[in-house]
Amino acid sequence: MLFRKAFFMGYHDNKDCIEACLQCIAICNHCAASCLQEGNVEMMKECIRLDLDCADLCDLAVKLMSRGSDQASRVCIICADACDACAEECAKHDTEHCRECVAACSRCAQACRDMR
């Protein structure tokens, strides 16, 4: 006999966090691409790496939250940590794309921590 969960949490329950993650994905990808256009790409290497890690973890979190996975809350904790690391690195660079990334990552990290 299969047992069903008493309460299913999916897209509508996690909409705010999903939207913050989606915005973070877009901004992190933009930041990584913009960092590649900087004069000293070597100096931006860690920023690019963290941008890509953050975007990938946000993408996974969105997928899991959207379908109501039992793993979503654990992945969101990891996602929040990745967002914090990305924001911390981006804060070291005085570029518009890095400033935008700090803001998006900070919002996403908080939304992931606030997720039910």
The more confident residue out of 106 and 115 is: 106
What's the CA gap between 111 and 5, in Å, rounded?
24
Q: What is the pLDDT of residue 9?
A: 64
Lowest average pLDDT, out of 7-11, 25-29, 66-70, goes to: 7-11
Domain range annotation of the chain: 13-114
Among 96, 100, 76, residue whose Cα is nearest residue 87: 100
**Any alpha helices (H) in the chain, and if so which ranges?**
15-35, 45-66, 72-90, 96-114
Q: Is the predicted pLDDT of residue 23 greater than 50, yes or no?
A: yes
Please tell me the number of Cα atoms within 13 Å of 80 on its side-chain side.
Answer: 15
Domain 13-114, CATH number (from 1.10.3720.10, 1.20.1270.360, 3.90.1150.60, 1.20.1630.10): 1.20.1270.360
pTM score of the predicted model: 0.89
pLDDT digits (tens, 9 = 90+) for 62-95: 999 999 999 999 999 999 999 999 999 999 999 9
